Amino acid sequence: MTAHAESGLDVAVRILDPRLPGWGFPRWGSALAAGLDLHACLDAPATLEPQAPAVLIPAGFALAIRDPGWCALVAPRSGLGHRDGLVLGNTVGVIDADYEGPLMISAWNRNPPGTAPLTVRPGERIAQLVFTRVVRPSLRVVEAFPAMDGAAEARGAGGFGSTGHG
C-alpha cells in the first residue's frame, strides 16, 4: 500500500489477519477522510464493561513507516466515542517510524458504572489511523527565558487556564 502520492510517504503494510481484506482493509472511509479505518480483529465479540480497564484489541496488521519525519496516530472514531462511549484507553496511540510490530487498539468503555456494557464485534471499525509529520526540534536548556512582549509574559505567568472561558 502506498500513501497518497503528494505526501511522499511510502508505507509497507503486512496483513496479519487474513480476514482484513474481506472487511475492506486497507481503506479510508471517504475520498477526503484523514483516518484509515481500523477493524477489531477478534475471534468472538468482546464485552467492555463500563469503566473497566481497557482491553487491547488486535488491528490485524503491522506497518513499516521507516521515515523519521512521519508517525501514525491511532485515534478513536468520533461517532463511537460520542454516541456509544467507546474511546481509546490511552486517548491516542503513537506509532513511531521504527515500530513494526502488530498494531493494537486500546479500547475502553467510558460510560458510567451501572450502564450497559459495550460489545465490539469481529470486523467492526473501532478506530482510525492518521499519518502525520513529526518535527524533532533542537532543545536548548536555559536558566530563564529571554524577555518577550507584555502579552506573552502575562499569559505565561497566569498558568493553566489563564485565558479564561469561551
Average pLDDT over residues 53-69: 97
Question: Are the C-beta atoms of residues 124 and 102 closer than 8 Å to each other?
Answer: no
What is the value of pTM for the model shown?
0.84
Question: Are the C-beta atoms of residues 60 and 36 closer than 8 Å to each other?
Answer: no
In a domain, 116, yes or no: yes
In a domain, 159, yes or no: no
DSSP at 139: P
Q: How far apart (Å, rounded) are the C-alpha atoms in residues 114 and 37?
A: 30
Domain extent, residue 58, equals 12-133
The three three-digit cell numbers of residue 149, written as one number: 512582549
| pLDDT single digits (tens) 125-143 | 999 999 999 999 999 999 9
In a domain, 154, yes or no: no
Question: Which of 20, 49, 35 has the alpha carbon at shortest distance from 115?
Answer: 49
Query: What's the CATH number where 98 sits?
Result: 2.70.40.10
Q: Residue length, the chain?
A: 166
The total number of structural domains that make up the chain: 1
| pLDDT single digits (tens) 65-119 | 999 999 999 999 988 888 999 999 998 999 999 999 999 999 999 999 999 999 9
Is the pLDDT at 27 greater than 60, yes or no?
yes
In a domain, 129, yes or no: yes
What pLDDT is recorded for position 2? 42
Task: Please give the radius of gyration of the chain, using alpha carbons only, rounded to the nearest integer.
Answer: 20
